[in-house]
Structure 1
């Protein structure tokens, strides 16, 4: 599918890193941004770098430079934000590498040449930026992990949990994970649960697609897959109330069903992320 839509992506890397998105894959994020065939006009990320630490820690310097280069190799513009240290009146030292202003200004300056903006952050300080971008005619989407501002989620045109996007956040203990295939580990949500029967159904995004709005797995165009789940497979710390809350994100293994051809069942279902309060 080819689209004339011009897309810009702006990543608040430090916010993502400290809120569940450590090891987020920029190549997958790029594919997600281009899922409707639009032209990726801007791909901006804002990475922190501690110059003082780098002078004393060669390994840190080496890894940081290598990471920056890897991100650039995926076609991203990297803006390096140098860490600053502040000492309060009690002698306590704090560090800061805030990219909010840079990211907001860049997004606004580019808005006139974009049709869609994807913000990757959870910071509620971007509320006014979202409104301003929408007032220029841009569609604004949000990708976030933990601690995503509730107001920000409600202000954007679409919010996507980074946990649910296939392979965006690797499963650390499954380095060769083949998302969506039998034997793989995926993340999804519970769509139906029958407490009196002791089973229900989970749903996961099987592929990055232009039809993510088709959430019914029974629809031929849907990129989602439904999975049967027995109560015995649910971890003890996952309550029925949590299961029936769509904001609860579950991590589970897929296995082929013995009862249904081409069907899948969920095993070892555990909590990936609980509900934002």
Structure 2
């Protein structure tokens, strides 16, 4: 397995949209520039799949957002927000992202996960064992150290926030 980004590598980009959204809203009060995010993640390699995992929360302009992601080149996987008996709400794509990464891995050289969620650190170990380079991209102030340590490479989007924020 190569730990160096090379033009011929086949790469998939998996974006935890909720994780990035909450960080950019709470820290910067801005939105992600998904086009720049995808460009940085691909880094001149052969893009095999780009998937944005999103939540349908019935908020204004959400369909426009989903369409914009598709125009940029993302496949969108949409999950409905769940309301529990106690009134709390939840929506989580962790298992879906992990399953997609493991399923896609045999046909890839690299997987880029765009999330700061430490729950993905075990995925990093598994993919590396399978011979796949695993990269993480997220905003450093909300990224788990466990994830940073587990990935082959980490891109701190905060270091160039003007590029990655609208």
Q: Is the 8 A contact 1:33 1:40 kept in 2?
A: no
In the alignment, structure 1 residue 102 sits paired with structure 2 residue 96: yes
Query: Which of 49, 55, 70 is the matching residue for 2:56?
Result: 49
Equivalence for 2:75 = 77
Could you report, residue by residue, the CA deviation over 1:71-112 in whole angstroms, capped at 9, with x for unpaired residues?
A: 100010000011001133xxxx21111000111100110001
Equivalence for 2:164 = 168
Distance in 1 of aligned mates of 2:48 and 2:62: 26
Could you report, residue by residue, the CA deviation over 1:189-236 in whole angstroms, capped at 9, with x for unpaired residues?
A: xxxxxxxxxxxxxxxxxxxxxxxxxxxxxxxxxxxxxxxxxxxxxxxx
Q: Aligned to 1:87, what secondary structure does the other structure show?
A: coil
**Higher share of residues assigned helix:** 2
**How many aligned positions are there?**
155
Equivalence for 1:23 = 31
Q: Is the 8 A contact 1:27 1:74 kept in 2?
A: yes
Q: Is the 8 A contact 1:49 1:81 kept in 2?
A: yes
Equivalence for 2:118 = 124
| Cα root mean square deviation, aligned | 1.5
Report the structure number with the largest CA radius of gyration.
Answer: 1
Consecutive aligned runs of 4 or more in structure 1 exceeding 6 Å deviation: none
Shift of 1:34: 2.5
Q: Aligned to 2:97, what secondary structure does the other structure show?
A: helix
Distance in 1 of aligned mates of 2:24 and 2:134: 22
Shift of 1:129: 0.8
TM norm structure 2? 0.87
**Higher share of residues assigned strand:** 1
Could you report, residue by residue, the CA deviation over 1:144-169 in whole angstroms, capped at 9, with x for unpaired residues?
A: 11321111111111111112245112
Q: Aligned to 1:164, what secondary structure does the other structure show?
A: helix
TM norm structure 1? 0.53
In the alignment, structure 1 residue 152 sits paired with structure 2 residue 147: yes
Q: Which runs of 5+ in 1 are unaligned?
A: 55-59, 171-277
Q: Is the 8 A contact 1:9 1:43 kept in 2?
A: yes
Distance in 2 of aligned mates of 1:33 and 1:110: 16
Q: Aligned to 2:24, what secondary structure does the other structure show?
A: coil
Q: Aligned to 1:129, what secondary structure does the other structure show?
A: helix
Distance in 2 of aligned mates of 1:147 and 1:32: 19
